[in-house]
Chains A and B, each alone.
Chain A
Amino acid sequence: MIQVENLSKAFGPKLAVDDVSFSVQRGEILGFLGPNGAGKSTTMRMITGYLPPTAGLVKVGGHDVTEKAIEAKRLIGYLPESAPLYTDMTVEGFLGFCAEVRGLGGADKAKAIDRAIEMCFLKTVRRQSVDTLSKGYRHRTGFAQAIIHDPDILVMDEPTDGLDPNQKHEVRSLIRRMGQSKAIIFSTHILEEVEAACTRAIIIDQGKVVANGTPDELKAKSELANSYLVSINGTEAAAVREKLGSIIQSTKVTIVNDKPPTVLARVFPKDAGSDGALGQAIFSVAKQNEWNVNEIRKEEGRLDDVFRNITLSDTQAQ
């Protein structure tokens, strides 16, 4: 549904987006990750036809966004960053306006408004003026505007920004539900969100795509992925380090915490495939040395580690 090929955008001498390519199919929810100023919003603005690309191509539902702008825009629902709204209108009036601009009229329009209001939990404020709404309601009104015409493609710039935890949960489950029949792109810098809602994630840094995969694939890139955390009683840190370090499947053992009588150690695997063997080896070493194992736990890897490692370069440069 969305096809982005070698997309670049320069603002003067600064390259905000640098040769980005990816595609999103129907039924996919793509999470767009990256530090502030990485080029997430700029990319989304080019997809939705707000900014013309400096180089490259965006195709939405087969239409080139720069050449067949109107046809492409018809397919997209867009929630811009910080959800801008006409503050002098009521929620209902605003949604009606958006529906009309999108070519809905009469009974279709009324139905579309009712549907969007119901999906975004706006019933209690539907006749209220937008400038009297709290941030959460404003954001949901912006969301309702994006889905008013039941678009095939949804592009959302930080859809959960500024919402409370309950509202975040609601919006995520809404995205998940809609993702079954639509192609969705949303940007965020909240990593749990990617795990909670996305089928695929792209990490973008300094205008370039630096990682692209399912949340699990990305997590596997973490240093901690498939390592074991072992908590042992009745021995000393030095002994733990020595004995566990001699396991052939491990590359490294670090002592995370040493508070007698408990030692907390992390064992890193040699290669990700032999994870079961490493766990068994740890057990047998513990048995041989008659240690009391309190807990042994396998790490899946953490997205925020991956994110930090990949995008650290520019933070350090600053």
Chain B
Amino acid sequence: MKSIWTITKRELAGYFNSPVAYVFLVIFLLMTGAFTFMIGQFFERGQANLQPFFMWHPWLYLFLVPAVGMRLWSEERRLGTLELILTMPISPWQTITGKFIASWGFLILALLLTFPIWWTVNNLGSPDNGAIFTGYIGSALMAGGYLAITSMTSALTRNQVISFILSVVICLFLVLCGWPPVTDPLATMAPNWLVEGVAAFSVMPHFERLQQGVIDSRDLIYFISLIGFPLFATSVIIRSLRS
């Protein structure tokens, strides 16, 4: 546990020692604000909920999460420090977890800094704060899933740009694969079970249920495996790098 925390601390310090963290926080907050109030028409809708806020998260995270996570492993590979860290007396799992927790913590911090919007909606009306809470949980879990995928693509290459593009493409698939404009043309050429199988990967229905305040174990299992599987894949990739 202590070793994981040591890795986490170092990674977090890495974010805040460079301008990356501050640029990211400002852009994230500006963009969530712009999308919610201008495109989402938060005021005009006249409804006391955060639906116009949360609905943009899958799209915002599509670019912002890979930007946060792309350096996780590719930077270690580029600098050669992978050899250093893997010859220290800690297991690769501790390193993977420590790094993931640091980046995830940073994303959750960014998400928590959107609290003024919660304050606004509570001042204007009386929203269902339980649903807002589960919405935040869902958003954090979704960010974690995207981040785990970025961790995996980051381990694949020493080039951060390639890692970024790969994770954007995979996350885009997760957003789109359950969306009718994508599933409808697919349904005309593929058997039904395949279409449904592909659609089941989609992050959208799970996130939407959490936004409505429904905590379903299936959604939680989906998000936990969305985080767990790519992290496991990361460990496999790192092991294969060494042989």
A71 to B91, CA, bound (A): 11
Q: Which residues of A contact B6 (CB under 8 A)?
A: 97, 100-101
Whether A86 lies near B87 (C-beta < 8 A) is: no
| Stretch in A44-52, A117-125, A166-174, A253-261 with 4+ CB within 8 Å of B | A44-52
- B positions within 8 Å CB-CB of A: 2-3, 6-7, 10, 13-14, 17-18, 79-81, 83-91, 242-243
Partner of A50, one of B14, B86, B91: B86
Whether B87 lies near A52 (C-beta < 8 A) is: no
Sample of 12 A–B contacts (CB below 8 Å): A48-B87, A49-B87, A50-B87, A80-B80, A84-B81, A85-B79, A86-B79, A88-B17, A89-B10, A93-B13, A101-B85, A102-B88
Q: Which residues of A contact B3 (CB under 8 A)?
A: 101, 103
A35-77 interface with B by 8 A CB criterion: 45, 48-52, 69-71, 73-74, 76
Partner of B88, one of A52, A85, A87, A101: A101
- A positions within 8 Å CB-CB of B: 45, 48-52, 69-71, 73-74, 76, 78, 80, 82, 84-89, 93, 97-98, 100-103, 145
Q: Which residues of A contact B83 (CB under 8 A)?
A: 45, 50, 80, 84
Whether B88 lies near A73 (C-beta < 8 A) is: yes
For A83, the closest partner residue in chain B by CB is B80
Whether B79 lies near A87 (C-beta < 8 A) is: yes
Partner of A86, one of B81, B86, B89, B90: B81
Q: Which residues of A contact B84 (CB under 8 A)?
A: 78, 80, 84-85, 145
Q: Which residues of A contact B14 (CB under 8 A)?
A: 86, 88-89
A152 to chain B, nearest CB (A): 13
Whether A85 lies near B87 (C-beta < 8 A) is: no
A73 to B83, CA, bound (A): 12
Whether B242 lies near A52 (C-beta < 8 A) is: yes
Q: Which residues of A contact B89 (CB under 8 A)?
A: 70-71, 73-74, 101-103
A50 to B80, CA, bound (A): 12
B23 to chain A, nearest CB (A): 15
Q: Which residues of A contact B17 (CB under 8 A)?
A: 88-89
Q: Which residues of B contact A101 (CB under 8 A)?
A: 3, 6-7, 85, 88-90
For A157, the closest partner residue in chain B by CB is B83
For A84, the closest partner residue in chain B by CB is B80
Partner of A70, one of B7, B79, B81, B90: B90
B81 to chain A, nearest CB (A): 5
Q: Which residues of A contact B18 (CB under 8 A)?
A: 88
A48 to B85, CA, bound (A): 11
A116 to chain B, nearest CB (A): 15
A153 to B119, CA, bound (A): 59
A100 to B3, CA, bound (A): 8
